[in-house]
Structure 1
Amino acid sequence: MRTLTVNTFVSLDGVMQAPGGPAEDPTGNFTLGGWNATFWDDVMGQAIAKEFDPPTDLLLGRKTYEIFAAHWPYISDDPIADQLNNATKYVASRTLDEVTWNNAVLLKGDAGDAVAELKHQDGPDLNVQGSSDLLQTLLRRDLVDVFNIWTFPILLGPGKRLFGEGTTPGGLRLLDSVTSTTGVTIAKYERAGEVPVGSFQFAEPTEAELRRRASLTD
């Protein structure tokens, strides 16, 4: 089975919208696009290169595909551009009739079903970049195996978030972490079964605790 890894830039309050520039995704009157551009250092450059070694296939939503296709094919003498341009790119979209970027493949039908089928096929592991809308489908269907989350030390307020209301609950295990010189935390997690729960409460609740519970409302 192919491993599906999500690579996502998020603010400390969980927003992942338009990290690369003001015109990237201003939908919903989002005005803070480009919020990660001033943080990059050598640590982050090494970390991003590591994500494509060995090469992976890309899985993209329509908006991220269009952003990438309007940028990366026009970059030369850059190893990341070469890897993205040469990789097979699976694109989930309800509106596109064709995809023209080199080695791009348009997924047919329901995105969740198509990705589940891709995971069972032979081939390189799958790597999701951006694609906030597609991610909600993947999270609802519990199709993500690894989360590689880059958390930037900023607060953005309203905006598209990585973990929406449909996220499937589950435990995670930290695989690796590093912090850039600019304060960006890069942490990689894998799925680790169900959410582990416990309790710090008394085995026999106090009268005060019983009254507290009785006063709770939905």
Structure 2
Amino acid sequence: MDYEKLPNFLKNMNSVVEDDLEGISWLHGNPPDYTLVNNLYLSERTKIHPPHSLEAIITNLIKNWEKELSHKTDVSQWRTVDTGKFRVSMNGGEFKGLGDVAKIGAYNFFIGESEYYAASLVPDPTESHQVFRKAMKNGFALEVLEVYTPPPKVVFKWRHWGRMEGEVQCPMRNKTIRTMKPTGGKVELIGTTVMVLNDKYEIEQMEFFFRPDTMLEQMAGVC
């Protein structure tokens, strides 16, 4: 892997919100400001990977992918994926294409029908994004903990975390609304991803394995 020849989204964790922004369709109309979440990441990450290491490269890739997933509404403008082949699955379930995930939204796809949050009751991706943005006002940071295999099939372990700093009204699976008061406590997820890259280091396929209910249980204060 020749580091100098790698695309910028593997070398700069903010590449997709800093490079070539003209004409990009953003969820909230403008490029997102990642100052708070980047500060959270840099101050509370548990791993500091050596520059140019495989772990650092995969960190940049997955963080740029998450930014596109959360904020770019025109999937043809995503740089981190092979837009013609990309597909993703959760816990061995059905694979979804790029358009499917963009349509339902990142939180809805990854959480689904939890006891404390029912994606089917918040079908609009902008609205679902706001539910959790209000809860974790300083962001929901992502770090790569370990990378087990190199490209083209990359297996890695990750951590996603934030703090419950705002009130949330969650539509539950039983169709009632549960108000979750801010506790200031940490909300944390740990998972594993199997990812296939093409020869341009664009993502073709991702399989995520984690327990999404964990996040909602922490927010609801039941664990």
Pairwise same-fold verdict (TM > 0.5):
no
Larger relative helix fraction: 2
TM-score (norm 1): 0.28
Identify the structure with bigger relative contact order (alpha carbons < 8 Å, sequence gap 6+).
1
- Which structure has the greater CA radius of gyration? 1
TM-score (norm 2): 0.27
